[in-house]
Amino acid sequence: MIRVVVAHDTSLLRSALAALLGREADFEVTDTGWPGLYASDRTPRPDVYVVDADCPGWRQHTGTSTGGRFALPGGTRQRGVRGRRPQSRSDRDCACGASVPPSLVVLTGAGRPGDLRRAYEARALGFVNKDRSADRLPTAVRRVAQGKRFVDESLAVEFLHAADMPLTRRELSVLSLSAEGASVTEIARSLHLCNGTVRNYLAAITRKTGARNRVDAIRISRVAGWV
Amino acid sequence: MIRVVVAHDTSLLRSALAALLGREADFEVTDTGWPGLYASDRTPRPDVYVVDADCPGWRQHTGTSTGGRFALPGGTRQRGVRGRRPQSRSDRDCACGASVPPSLVVLTGAGRPGDLRRAYEARALGFVNKDRSADRLPTAVRRVAQGKRFVDESLAVEFLHAADMPLTRRELSVLSLSAEGASVTEIARSLHLCNGTVRNYLAAITRKTGARNRVDAIRISRVAGWV
């Protein structure tokens, strides 16, 4: 039996995903929200986690809200994650201190390179396109349970876009705050910058995303999954 | 048997919702995207449609993109919808000309009065909170199949907010275009207004939503499900 945990912010949708996976005879499925995903007292430990990249909870845990740090929760309580060790400061300094998911299948839509990149940085092994048939999900879970990689072929080209991240981390920080409705002065205060610098960043963001204006830059970046 | 059609933009999630409902012995479940939901050649005709209010396809069909017209697709090919007839111009002039869903269960989150209002205007009978246990969905489907109303008690207070729509239809039109990244001049051209009038609308929207600025007004309205 493969022990699968399905995580989604929305209770009904995680039950639905669990029902879908529960039809497979070799899966033992439970579902959870955040922060349940990273609970360290889970017994027995699941073989595979399935998460929806579109969830705010997942985004928060993978660092977008902190301006593209792409930090994975983990480090202090990490245990037995197939020989992986925290590799960078960003692994260790996560506030939540929970354990890294062992084998991760991420559900993502097409045209969202930001989500794909975040999943990759979180060391996901499985990448499933939500916009395609559901048949592939059980296959992905089985492959990932064996420690192998599964990439939906329809997402392959998206990886090229994901590698082409147009914004720097600092620009992402500025953009995230701006998307939350912060003014130039508020962004400047929050990031310890002067107003002119923030304006320069916002101009660079608008130019780099090919947007017409700031609101358009936020919209484009949101659609792409960057913020 | 109750014939149920589940509609969701995302293929994997509609399969998952169908799997969840398919566990009920008295349901015969199929799933579809848009515009499949409104296909007029569906045989046999389903008893209940289940739609996720968060889907762009649903929003488009219920009129947000047209600035809060709250128009339901229907009219020309409408048939046998429990004695209901097109009641207003907005019922008849929908471009798609497809049939009105017969008995509609809408899945919506808490804190999204705009989604709730849109569902109500689309004459939904069932209102299920996605953030609560999935147990209620089959109950809702059975009640709605009998032509009865089902309102998740956790959504009751939301209906008060839904009645309290802060923006006029014209303001919603302006806000929707602004949220898509249109400049004041572009909005003015699109709605046949002068630039000053658009600026006045944007100032009114910011004031009425209690926002700090235009970006914040868009964010607040999006969270509430108004745009």
Min Cα–Cα distance to chain A from B81, Å: 28
Same domain, A152 and A198: no
Q: Residue B219 is nearest to which of A17, A129, A180, comparing CB atoms?
A: A180
pLDDT value at A139 more than 70? yes
Same domain, A122 and A195: no
User: Residue A11, Cα to own-chain centre: how many angstroms?
Assistant: 19
> CA torsion B99→B101→B107→B113, rounded to 10°?
70
Could B178 and A134 be called an inter-chain contact, meaning their C-beta atoms sit closer than 8 Å? no
Min Cα–Cα distance to chain B from A76, Å: 31
Among residues B124, B147, B162, which one ends one of the domains?
B162
Could A13 and B218 be called an inter-chain contact, meaning their C-beta atoms sit closer than 8 Å? no
Same domain, B67 and B87: yes
Chain A neighbors of B179, CB-CB under 8 A: 215, 219
Question: In the structure encoding, which two tokens stand for residue B67, read together?
Answer: 């600035």
Chain B neighbors of A218, CB-CB under 8 A: 215
Q: What is the extent of the structural domain holding B190?
A: 169-224
Residue A39: band (very low, low, confident or very high) from pLDDT cuts 50, 70, 90: low
Same domain, A17 and A110: yes
Which residue stretches of chain B have pLDDT < 70? 35-36, 38-43, 63-102
Backbone angles phi, psi at B99, to 5 degrees: -85, 150
Same domain, A120 and A173: no
pLDDT at B111: 83
* Preferred mutation among A12, A55, A129, A175 to probe B, highest tally of B CBs within 10 A: A12
Min Cα–Cα distance to chain A from B14, Å: 9
Contact criterion met (CB below 8 Å) for B143 and B150: yes
Residue of B nearest to A213 (CA): B181
Could B19 and A16 be called an inter-chain contact, meaning their C-beta atoms sit closer than 8 Å? yes
Residue of B nearest to A110 (CA): B10
Residue of B nearest to A211 (CA): B181
Residue A197: band (very low, low, confident or very high) from pLDDT cuts 50, 70, 90: very high
Same domain, B34 and B141: yes
Min Cα–Cα distance to chain A from B13, Å: 7
Contact criterion met (CB below 8 Å) for B172 and B178: no
Same domain, A150 and A44: yes
Backbone angles phi, psi at B111, to 5 degrees: 75, 20
pLDDT at B98: 45
Number of domains in chain A: 2
Among residues A162, A180, A210, which one ends one of the domains?
A162
pLDDT at B62: 75
- Is the pLDDT higher at B121 or at A12? A12
User: Averaged over A134-159, what is the pLDDT?
Assistant: 92
Could B19 and A15 be called an inter-chain contact, meaning their C-beta atoms sit closer than 8 Å? no
Among residues A113, A147, A162, which one ends one of the domains?
A162
- Is the pLDDT higher at B162 or at A139? A139
The residue length of chain B stands at: 227
Chain A neighbors of B12, CB-CB under 8 A: 17, 20, 107, 128-132, 134, 137
Tell me which residue of A213, A181, A179 sits closest to B210, measured CA to CA: A181
Tens-place pLDDT, residues A95-115: 344 444 568 999 998 888 888
User: Averaged over A134-150, what is the pLDDT?
Assistant: 95
Min Cα–Cα distance to chain A from B203, Å: 15
> At CB < 8 Å, which residues of chain B contact A?
10-13, 15-17, 19-20, 22-23, 107, 109, 128-134, 137, 178-183, 211-220
Could B10 and A131 be called an inter-chain contact, meaning their C-beta atoms sit closer than 8 Å? yes
Same domain, B128 and B17: yes
Min Cα–Cα distance to chain B from A16, Å: 5
pLDDT at A111: 83
Same domain, A129 and A192: no
Backbone angles phi, psi at B126, to 5 degrees: -115, 135
Q: Which residues of A110-124 are buried (b: 16+ CB within 10 A; e: fewer)?
A: eebbbbbbbbbbbbb
Tens-place pLDDT, residues A72-81: 333 323 333 3
Chain B neighbors of A179, CB-CB under 8 A: 215, 219
pLDDT at B15: 95
Q: How far apart are CA A112 and CA A105, in angstroms?
A: 16
Same domain, A144 and A204: no
Chain B neighbors of A107, CB-CB under 8 A: 12
ipTM of this complex: 0.74
Chain A neighbors of B218, CB-CB under 8 A: 215
pLDDT value at A148 more than 90? yes
User: Averaged over A201-210, what is the pLDDT?
Assistant: 94
Residue given tokens 């740090």 in the structure block: A69
Tell me which residue of A5, A126, A118 sits closest to A62, measured CA to CA: A118
- Mind giving me the DSSP string for chain B? -EEEEEE-SSHHHHHHHHHHHHTSTTEEEEEE-TTGGG-TT-SSPPSEEEEETT-HHHHHHTTGGGTS--PPS-STT---STT----SHHHH--TT--PPPSSEEEEE-TT-HHHHHHHHHTT-SEEEETTS-TTHHHHHHHHHHTT--EE-GGGHHHHHHHHT--S-HHHHHHHHHHHTT--HHHHHHHHT--HHHHHHHHHHHHHHTT-SSHHHHHHHHHHHT--
**Domain CATH code at residue A181:** 1.10.10.10
Residue A165: band (very low, low, confident or very high) from pLDDT cuts 50, 70, 90: confident
Q: Could you give the 3-state DSSP secondary structure of residue A31?
A: strand
Residue A193: band (very low, low, confident or very high) from pLDDT cuts 50, 70, 90: very high
CB-defined contacts A:B, below 8 A? 103
